[in-house]
A and B are shown apart, each in its own frame.
Chain A
Amino acid sequence: MMRSIQRKLPLFVTALLVAVAVVQLTVGYAKVRQASRKLIDQRLPLATKVLADLFQIGQGTARITALAKNPAIVAFLRSGGRTDREAALAAMRQLTNDTSTNAGLELRDFGGKLLLRTGRFAIVDSVLVSPSTDSARYGPFMRRDTTLFLAVAVAVSAAPGAGERSGGIVQQVARVTFNPQTPKALTGLAGGDISLFVGNASGDPWTDFGSLVPAPPQRVLTSRVPIVYERGGEMKRAAAAPVPGTPWMVVAEMPSRLVIAPARTYLFTMAPIAALIAIIGVLAAWWGSRRLTTPLVGVTRAAEAIASGNLEHRVPAGGDDELGRLARSFNTMADQVSRSHHHLETQVAQRTKALEGTNAELESFSYSVSHDLRAPLRAIHGFSRILLEDHNAKLDPEAQRLLGVIDQNTRRMGQLIDDLLAFSRLGRTDLSTGPVDMKELAQTVADEIQRNDNGRQGSLEIRIDPLPLARGDRGLLRQVMTNLLQNAAKFTRDRPSARIEVGSREDSGETVYFVKDNGAGFDARYADKLFGVFQRLHSTEQFDGTGVGLAIVKRIVQRHGGRVWAEGALNQGATFFFTLPGEER
């Protein structure tokens, strides 16, 4: 059953479903990851843009712009710091005192020379910002220890008609204060997961609005598309954007693992579903294949039953589908086989009966021959003998000789009848096969022949080689050996030293037995006639016999499935060969 379709089909479907699930999960995972990255790559620049726009609003420049329009300040600067010093200072103090931010204010000429300073901070002496217009300009972030500063400057243009040296710069230096909650708030504003940073385009210092942070690598700042870099031992995906009108940049970034998070979620959600679908599919395939193969099993069983001889076995046929049609066709075929079989059986029975009839006829024929041919012969022989015995005196020598001829021929006729009956009986008796010791058999027959070997002039030597066991009917094989050895003895009778040899040899897988003599031999041209019934190659005067012995040998050997043949030449002896199926040892 291991090779049955019933098992193969579910296995195949399982393999298919698993393959489909694996492919679907793999492709799905890749696609989700790709989509997630794309989404993030859209969100990151958007966040930087929003942040940059926030800086654009520029609420921190309103006061300083107003200050730059203060007449005292304007006058002070246009005078090159010579007039209106007190008034300018007052205006500046008003601003620094007003503001809650810890800021410092400076007034410089366009050459950068410090003219007036107020507030708590003095950053550097150099001009940090060089605005050419009277709109406010931010300078880069500056750092002292852990404090971040920011400069914003506005130009006060020269008075109309005055020289180039007239006018100057109003600059505010503010300390950037941090609120620890700000980064979180910004992250929330950006839609979660995104961290925002701002800093100088040229490098440090940078901040996440809560504290100072290391500046992102330059490649992040110069890249036009989001790229990955490492910060604090974690891979980040980051996008940068400049803040227009300032030397700052903003960076929005997100942990790289969040890119694959949706893909992982997808995998963890879909894998059990795929497994479930696979299990359902396998069960369905198992059920389907059972449904499909059960009728096939029926047909198979029926075919096996018919093959083993039960011709009446049929398949229950149902349905109009292929299986139903198969079952019906099968039944039709089985009907035909059954019919042919019955027909054949009837024919065989008829033939057997006819053969039995013929056999019975043959039997009664040989019975009649046995009975009815002998009786007249016996009468001829008997009465001719009586004539010789009782009326001898009245018979002249010629009459007596003629009666002798009658006597001889009736005896011979009797022998012919006996031999013919023996021969015809061979075809009818059943073989009772078993292992036969051919060596022992030959020895027994040889001893018998030696005992009854009358009328020989010279010596007779019978040599028997070791012979392999044969498989056959012992009685019939003894008849073969007897006939062959008697023949050999008969045809060596006139030899001064007669030799008969019984032996065997293996020839291409079969055993060939032979009986060889140095007797009268025969003309090889007539070798094929030797085994015919009543065929004789010697005259009755020369050697007696009816010519049935070798025919009997041939018939017995053939009934054992073997062959007989003879080799010889006139006066050079003869060898008779026969093959027999071997006995397995």
Chain B
Amino acid sequence: MQSHGVEILLVEDNANDAELTLRALKQRNLANQVFVCHDGAEALDFFANGEGPVPKVVLLDLKLPKVDGLEVLRRLKQDNRTKTIPVVVLTSSREEPDIERAYALGANSYIVKPVDFEAFARAVSDVGLYWLLLNHPPQ
């Protein structure tokens, strides 16, 4: 397990979306320390022992196998050790209930993945730039 120097944790079950996301990040040179989980359980395992690296941001899809994204979000925000980690919901859903629930559970951002690739790439790289370079997390 790549556990050193993880800056972005990408939770995404769709391999194509993961690849496109990584490509967008790579173009901005943000892909070096990205760790990818393919379902919600895997994401929870990542934080399970509490000794692993703390990513600067979690990019979380909502529709995930095993444990869905909202549940992952709820657990992360309930846990004192992980609740300060910014979670950006990155999903295809534009449904109002999803957006409301995500923010209610403590999501830091909600981004709808555009179908259009250029728009998608721009969104992902903007998110990466913001959370990795502009945002100042607590030490």
Contact = CB atoms under 8 A, between A and B. Distances in A.
Interface stretch (A50-58, A184-192, A410-418, A531-539): A410-418
A375 B92 contact: yes
B108 interface: no
A548 to B, nearest CB: 15
A385 interface: yes
A531 B93 CA distance: 27
B115 A413 contact: yes
Contacts of B16: 375-376, 378-379, 382-383
B91 A377 contact: no
B17 A421 contact: no
A268 interface: no
B95 A370 contact: yes
B79 interface: no
B14 interface: yes
Interface stretch (B30-38, B52-60, B116-124): B116-124
A414 B116 contact: yes
Given A371-B63, A374-B113, A375-B17, A385 B118 contact: yes
A378 B91 contact: no
Contacts of A410: 115
Interface in B77-123: 91-96, 98, 113-118, 120
A54 B23 CA distance: 163
Contacts of B67: none
A386 interface: yes
Report, as a range, how many residues of chain B touch the other chain: 20 to 34
B95 A377 contact: no
Nearest to A407: B117
Given A375-B17, A382-B16, A382-B20, A370 B115 contact: no
Given A385-B118, A413-B115, A378 B93 contact: no
Interface string A398-435: 00000000000011011001100100010000000000
Contacts of A378: 16-17, 20, 92, 113-115, 117, 120
A555 interface: no
Interface residues of A, number: 25
Contact of B94 (A376, A386, A418): A418
A367 B94 CA distance: 9
Contacts of A413: 115
Interface string B20-32: 1001000000000
A303 to B, nearest CB: 47
A383 to B, nearest CB: 7
Contact of A370 (B17, B23, B94, B116): B94
A125 B98 CA distance: 157
B115 A386 contact: no
A381 interface: yes
A367 B98 CA distance: 9
Contacts of A375: 14, 16-17, 92
B94 A421 contact: yes
Which of A370, A382, A411 has the largest count of B CB atoms less than 10 A from its CB? A382
Contact of B23 (A374, A386, A414, A418): A386
A374 B117 contact: no
Interface in A93-127: none
B115 A367 contact: no
Contacts of B96: 425
Nearest to A370: B93
B116 A371 contact: no
Nearest to B14: A375
Contacts of B94: 370, 418, 421
Given A382-B117, A414-B115, A374 B20 contact: no
11 contacts: A374-B92, A374-B115, A378-B115, A379-B17, A381-B115, A381-B116, A384-B117, A385-B118, A413-B115, A418-B94, A425-B96
Given A378-B17, A378-B115, A414-B115, 11 more contacts: A367-B93, A367-B98, A371-B91, A374-B113, A375-B16, A375-B17, A379-B14, A379-B16, A381-B117, A382-B16, A418-B94
Interface of A: 366-367, 370-372, 374-379, 381-386, 410-411, 413-414, 417-418, 421, 425
